[in-house]
Amino acid sequence: MKPSIILTLYFFKYLIEPQGFKQVTEIFLIEAANQLKDNS
């Protein structure tokens, strides 16, 4: 799976589960940071 697809899935998860926004945001930030490390 491409990183963009993974991020999109997290976005839809947020739309479906707004009460889990904090957890999804934490996961999103961790994944984004990991992807930046991989790209550098």
Distance between CA 11 and CA 32 in Å, rounded?
13
Distance between CA 14 and CA 17 in Å, rounded?
5
pTM above 0.75, yes or no: no
* pLDDT digits 0-9 by tens, 2-38: 778 888 887 887 777 766 677 777 888 888 888 888 8
How high is the pLDDT of residue 1? Answer: 54
